[in-house]
Structure 1
Protein backbone atom coordinates (compact mmCIF):
# COMPACT_ATOMS: atom_id res chain seq x y z
CA UNK A 1 0.00 0.00 0.00
CA UNK A 2 1.42 3.38 -0.99
CA UNK A 3 1.64 6.06 1.68
CA UNK A 4 -1.03 8.73 1.50
CA UNK A 5 0.17 12.27 0.72
CA UNK A 6 -0.13 14.71 3.59
CA UNK A 7 -2.98 17.20 3.74
CA UNK A 8 -0.48 20.02 3.16
CA UNK A 9 0.73 18.47 -0.11
CA UNK A 10 -2.82 17.80 -1.26
CA UNK A 11 -3.84 21.37 -0.45
CA UNK A 12 -1.02 22.68 -2.65
CA UNK A 13 -1.96 20.29 -5.45
CA UNK A 14 -5.61 21.32 -5.43
CA UNK A 15 -4.82 25.02 -5.18
CA UNK A 16 -2.37 24.74 -8.10
CA UNK A 17 -4.93 22.85 -10.18
CA UNK A 18 -7.61 25.41 -9.33
CA UNK A 19 -5.39 28.24 -10.58
CA UNK A 20 -4.39 26.22 -13.66
CA UNK A 21 -8.00 25.63 -14.65
CA UNK A 22 -8.83 29.26 -14.02
CA UNK A 23 -5.98 30.37 -16.30
CA UNK A 24 -7.06 27.90 -18.98
CA UNK A 25 -10.32 29.81 -19.26
CA UNK A 26 -8.47 32.58 -21.11
CA UNK A 27 -7.23 30.58 -24.12
CA UNK A 28 -10.48 28.65 -24.19
CA UNK A 29 -12.43 31.87 -24.64
CA UNK A 30 -9.92 33.50 -27.02
CA UNK A 31 -9.06 30.69 -29.42
CA UNK A 32 -12.14 28.53 -29.28
CA UNK A 33 -14.83 31.18 -28.96
CA UNK A 34 -16.67 29.86 -32.03
CA UNK A 35 -16.79 26.34 -30.71
CA UNK A 36 -19.17 25.02 -28.13
CA UNK A 37 -18.46 27.88 -25.74
CA UNK A 38 -21.09 27.04 -23.18
CA UNK A 39 -19.85 23.46 -22.79
CA UNK A 40 -16.26 24.67 -22.52
CA UNK A 41 -17.23 27.26 -19.91
CA UNK A 42 -19.18 24.76 -17.87
CA UNK A 43 -16.35 22.25 -18.04
CA UNK A 44 -13.82 24.82 -16.82
CA UNK A 45 -16.18 25.98 -14.12
CA UNK A 46 -16.72 22.40 -12.94
CA UNK A 47 -12.97 21.81 -12.72
CA UNK A 48 -12.32 25.06 -10.86
CA UNK A 49 -15.19 24.45 -8.45
CA UNK A 50 -14.18 20.85 -7.78
CA UNK A 51 -10.56 21.68 -7.09
CA UNK A 52 -11.47 24.67 -4.94
CA UNK A 53 -13.78 22.45 -2.91
CA UNK A 54 -11.08 19.83 -2.57
CA UNK A 55 -8.63 22.52 -1.47
CA UNK A 56 -11.08 23.62 1.21
CA UNK A 57 -11.48 20.02 2.32
CA UNK A 58 -7.74 19.51 2.64
CA UNK A 59 -7.49 22.68 4.72
CA UNK A 60 -10.02 21.18 7.13
CA UNK A 61 -8.11 17.89 7.11
CA UNK A 62 -4.87 19.74 7.86
CA UNK A 63 -6.50 21.36 10.87
CA UNK A 64 -7.78 17.98 12.04
CA UNK A 65 -4.24 16.53 11.78
CA UNK A 66 -2.95 19.30 14.03
CA UNK A 67 -5.49 18.37 16.70
CA UNK A 68 -4.72 14.64 16.58
Structure 2
Protein backbone atom coordinates (compact mmCIF):
# COMPACT_ATOMS: atom_id res chain seq x y z
CA UNK A 1 0.00 0.00 0.00
CA UNK A 2 1.44 3.37 -0.97
CA UNK A 3 1.76 6.11 1.61
CA UNK A 4 -1.00 8.33 0.14
CA UNK A 5 -3.41 5.39 0.00
CA UNK A 6 -2.45 4.49 3.58
CA UNK A 7 -3.34 8.02 4.70
CA UNK A 8 -6.59 7.91 2.72
CA UNK A 9 -7.45 4.62 4.39
CA UNK A 10 -6.69 6.06 7.84
CA UNK A 11 -8.85 9.10 7.11
CA UNK A 12 -11.75 6.90 6.01
CA UNK A 13 -11.44 5.02 9.30
CA UNK A 14 -11.56 8.35 11.11
CA UNK A 15 -14.80 9.17 9.28
CA UNK A 16 -16.25 5.85 10.42
CA UNK A 17 -15.19 6.64 13.99
CA UNK A 18 -16.89 10.03 13.78
CA UNK A 19 -20.11 8.33 12.70
CA UNK A 20 -19.81 5.91 15.59
CA UNK A 21 -19.36 8.85 17.97
CA UNK A 22 -22.53 10.44 16.61
CA UNK A 23 -24.46 7.22 17.25
CA UNK A 24 -23.07 6.97 20.78
CA UNK A 25 -23.99 10.60 21.43
CA UNK A 26 -27.57 9.79 20.44
CA UNK A 27 -27.59 6.89 22.90
CA UNK A 28 -26.37 9.26 25.60
CA UNK A 29 -29.10 11.79 24.79
CA UNK A 30 -31.90 9.23 24.66
CA UNK A 31 -30.68 6.74 27.25
CA UNK A 32 -31.26 6.64 30.96
CA UNK A 33 -29.64 5.11 33.99
CA UNK A 34 -27.17 2.33 33.43
CA UNK A 35 -27.43 2.38 29.62
CA UNK A 36 -26.68 6.10 29.54
CA UNK A 37 -23.66 5.63 31.81
CA UNK A 38 -22.34 2.85 29.58
CA UNK A 39 -22.83 4.99 26.48
CA UNK A 40 -20.97 7.88 28.15
CA UNK A 41 -18.05 5.63 29.08
CA UNK A 42 -17.91 4.20 25.58
CA UNK A 43 -18.17 7.68 24.05
CA UNK A 44 -15.27 8.95 26.16
CA UNK A 45 -13.10 5.97 25.23
CA UNK A 46 -13.88 6.24 21.52
CA UNK A 47 -13.21 10.00 21.56
CA UNK A 48 -9.77 9.33 23.04
CA UNK A 49 -9.10 6.71 20.37
CA UNK A 50 -10.20 9.11 17.63
CA UNK A 51 -7.95 11.86 19.00
CA UNK A 52 -5.01 9.44 19.02
CA UNK A 53 -5.76 8.33 15.45
CA UNK A 54 -6.01 11.93 14.24
CA UNK A 55 -2.73 12.79 15.94
CA UNK A 56 -1.06 9.82 14.27
CA UNK A 57 -2.39 10.77 10.83
CA UNK A 58 -1.23 14.36 11.33
CA UNK A 59 2.19 13.18 12.47
CA UNK A 60 2.54 10.90 9.45
CA UNK A 61 1.33 13.53 7.01
CA UNK A 62 3.45 16.41 8.35
CA UNK A 63 6.82 15.28 6.91
CA UNK A 64 5.23 14.71 3.51
CA UNK A 65 3.64 18.16 3.52
CA UNK A 66 6.95 19.78 4.51
CA UNK A 67 8.75 17.88 1.75
CA UNK A 68 6.20 19.04 -0.83
CA UNK A 69 6.70 22.66 0.27
CA UNK A 70 10.49 22.30 -0.09
CA UNK A 71 10.15 20.81 -3.56
CA UNK A 72 7.73 23.55 -4.63
CA UNK A 73 10.10 26.29 -3.42
Q: Provide TM-score, normalisation by structure 1.
A: 0.63
Counterpart of 2:71?
none
The count of corresponding residues between Structure 1 and Structure 2 is 65
More helix as a share of residues: 2
Counterpart of 2:45?
46
Indicate the RMSD between aligned Cα atoms, in angstroms. 2.6
The separation in 1 between residues aligned to 2:11 and 2:59, in whole angstroms, is 10
Q: Matches of residues 1-68 of structure 1 in structure 2 within 5 Å?
A: 3=1, 5-14=5-14, 16-66=15-65, 67=67
Q: Provide TM-score, normalisation by structure 2.
A: 0.60
User: SS state of the match for residue 19, structure 1?
Assistant: helix
